[in-house]
Amino acid sequence: EIVLTQSPGTLSLSPGERATLSCKASQSVTSSYLAWYQQRPGQAPRLLMYAASSRATGIPDRFSGSGSGTDFTLTISSLEPEDFAVYYCEQFEASPRTFGQGTKVEIK
Amino acid sequence: QVQLVQSGAEVKKPGASVKVSCTTSGYTFNDYYVHWVRQAPGQGLEWMGWINPDSGRTEYAPKFQGRVTLTRDTPISTAYMELTSLRSDDTALYYCARTYIAAAGTDYWGQGTLVTVSS
């Protein structure tokens, strides 16, 4: 199975700062098969990005994704209060689908 | 609007089975795969499998093969996840979610169903 490793585990930042989250795969993942999710406390995950760099419906443009092969990045250009949450990457290149362990973006 | 509404919380004893429902509305049920993902308390997300409501075809994660069964009732636009031989480490929030094709991001999720396994 493809293992996704996210870093850092926790990111402590202030509103308005830039957040850069990493997702590394144990083997190559086609960009089309990589997604990012946001999960706020007590809520279900929400799709942010699909195909590594395409924003899902209703997602603001401060969110962007990039990467290819084994290295993918989610960037939040300027953190808003509602962006403090846990973020997961997911691959569906190969079965079973797998998620990274998550990166928590917390208020500094 | 698209909605996936799951059944209520369950408390089960070790060795028992649980069946969780996911009732959908706001879209054509047969056009979207339904996935099941679980999240243990304070932990990350774990994919369990999917069902194609149109064909009834299923795919399961190897970890759950033999213990999980995904089914659907198309006239009532509802999908089900049954997990057998429950253990304490099956205590988790179980989510259903949909995708347009099997290999795609899940764009709508249910609210989650808490299954607690305790003697």
**What confidence tens digit (pLDDT) does each residue in B15-52 have?**
999 999 999 999 999 999 999 999 999 999 999 999 99
Name the amino acid, one letter, at A24.
K
Q: pLDDT at position B47, please? A: 98
Q: Which residues of A touch B97 (CB under 8 A)?
A: 44-45
Cβ within 8 Å, pair B59-A102: no
Which residues does A41 contact at the CB level (< 8 Å), separation at least 6?
Answer: A85
Cβ of B47 under 8 Å from any chain A Cβ?
Answer: yes
Which residues does B11 contact at the CB level (< 8 Å), separation at least 6?
Answer: B116, B118
Instruction: Provide the 3-class DSSP secondary structure of residue A30.
Output: coil
CA B105 to chain centre: 16
- Min Cα–Cα distance to chain B from A33, Å: 7
**Dist. CA A34–CA A27, nearest whole Å:** 13
CA A58 to chain centre: 16
* A45-56 average pLDDT score: 96
